[in-house]
């Protein structure tokens, strides 16, 4: 990246383009890829220049020649099912997560051509840090080290930016010597990150970077601000709400009843199996649970609004889900709730990407450029 040119990036497993939205308009997308036709259509509906750089298909079918130039950043949000606590925990060798290697062979090829991306961000579920006893994370770090990268991990919960609990790990790698102002332990080095680093062998720990990322300002948005007005919502019949309340354990029902006495209580509910019994579990802290995709029968969150006089319930709408991901209302969602949640529930929260880019990636690139210019 020259100091007069906008930073450029490749986006792999791009989905609906949420990482691109987070990076912002001053970044230039050189190439984007996803194999899913619904996500592809959504990406193309939201980015006028998609035809020039979007490649639909399996990442294994992409060739190095398809990637123009040398990007400042390669962003990869590879499929996470095998790392998820809800999945099989098969790790890098299992199922969809093996597509990571389809991405990585391209990074190896670009390095061989002298045009490896200057920085790489790999985003995934927190289970990446511990799957297979930490061996998967070690394999990822080894792959980065073998291609000449320094690397470190941050665990960031989207709840710091939007009213949705969505912890994710971001592995940030650089080919440059990390500058001291951007290093040091901080708010996003959670216990999971500390333990993952401690499990690495000495040669990989020597390349580890404790990226310093400032904590964001205190979030001032509440779940209720993301929801459609009560008078326009489609509520379930009272009998269905009563059945939902019957599924709540005494502690959850007690919290709901206490909250409604203070006025209007708003929460979200997931149905889960506990010891072979289906339970409805509610949270009332102004933050929604982690959005999910419909794949694999995942339950969709239920919105509960309760007052002293009554309790009403309904399903979370796709537009509300999009808001919880930090997407503007102008973002075009697929028709149909299942398709829309397929896109939204599989994405990365836009404000998290913006914060990571503005506080770490962009300063990192700028610092290296300044050092080169002074030589």
pLDDT value at residue 98: 73
Q: Calculate mean pLDDT across residues 159-175.
A: 97
The region of weakest confidence among 80-94, 95-109, 131-145, 206-220 is 80-94
pLDDT value at residue 183: 95
CB atoms within 10 A of CB 28: 17
Give Cα separations from 181 to 23, 129, 176, 363 (angstroms): 21, 26, 14, 10
Tokens of 40: 């592809």
Q: What percent of the chain has pLDDT over 70?
A: 91
Q: Would you say residue 147 has pLDDT above 60?
A: yes
Residue corresponding to tokens 């019949």:
237
Residue corresponding to tokens 């220049």:
49
Q: Tell which wins on pLDDT, 97 or 56.
A: 56
pLDDT value at residue 284: 96
Distance CA 87, CA 89 (A): 6
Distance CA 19, CA 107 (A): 19
CA 260, 221, 226, 126 dihedral sign is negative
What confidence tier does 13 reach under pLDDT thresholds 50, 70, 90?
very high
Q: Calculate mean pLDDT across residues 161-178.
A: 96
User: Which pTM does this prediction carry?
Assistant: 0.92
pLDDT value at residue 370: 62
Domains (ranges, CATH) in the chain? 8-219+344-374 (3.40.50.150), 229-316 (no CATH)
pLDDT value at residue 320: 97
What confidence tier does 211 reach under pLDDT thresholds 50, 70, 90?
very high
pLDDT value at residue 89: 45
């Amino acid at each position: 990246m020259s100091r007069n040119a906008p930073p450029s990036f490749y986006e792999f497993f791009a989905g609906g383009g949420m990482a691109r939205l987070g990076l912002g308009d001053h970044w230039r997308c050189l190439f984007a890829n996803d194999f899913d036709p619904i996500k592809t259509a959504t990406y193309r509906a939201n980015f006028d220049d998609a035809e020039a750089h979007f490649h639909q298909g399996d990442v294994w079918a992409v060739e190095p020649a398809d990637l123009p130039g040398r990007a400042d950043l390669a962003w990869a949000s590879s499929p996470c099912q095998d790392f998820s606590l809800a999945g099989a925990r098969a790790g890098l060798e299992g199922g969809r997560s093996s597509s990571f290697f389809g991405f990585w062979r391209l990074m190896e090829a670009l390095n061989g051509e002298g045009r490896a991306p200057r920085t790489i961000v790999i985003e995934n579920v927190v289970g990446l840090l511990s799957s297979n006893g930490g061996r998967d994370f070690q394999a990822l770090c080894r792959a980065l080290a073998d291609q000449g990268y320094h690397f470190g991990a941050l665990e960031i919960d989207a709840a710091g930016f939007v009213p949705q609990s969505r912890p994710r790990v971001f592995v940030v790698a650089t080919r440059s010597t990390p500058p001291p102002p951007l290093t040091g332990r901080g708010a996003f080095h959670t216990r999971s990150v500390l333990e993952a680093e401690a499990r690495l062998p000495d040669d990989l720990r020597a390349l580890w970077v404790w990226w310093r990322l400032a904590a964001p300002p205190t979030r001032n948005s509440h779940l209720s601000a993301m929801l459609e007005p009560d008078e326009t919502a489609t509520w379930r019949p009272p009998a269905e709400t009563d059945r939902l309340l019957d599924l709540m354990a005494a502690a959850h029902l007690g919290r709901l009843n206490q909250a409604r006495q203070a006025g209007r209580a708003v929460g979200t509910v997931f149905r889960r199996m506990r010891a072979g019994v289906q339970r409805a579990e509610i949270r009332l802290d102004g933050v929604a649970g982690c959005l999910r995709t419909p794949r694999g029968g995942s339950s969709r969150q239920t919105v509960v609004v309760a007052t002293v006089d009554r309790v009403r319930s309904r399903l979370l709408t796709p537009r509300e889900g999009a808001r919880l991901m930090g997407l503007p209302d102008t973002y075009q969602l697929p028709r149909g709730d299942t398709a829309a949640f397929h896109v939204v529930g599989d994405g990365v929260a836009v404000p998290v990407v913006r914060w990571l880019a503005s506080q770490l990636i962009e300063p990192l690139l700028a610092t290296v450029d300044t050092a080169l210019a002074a030589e």
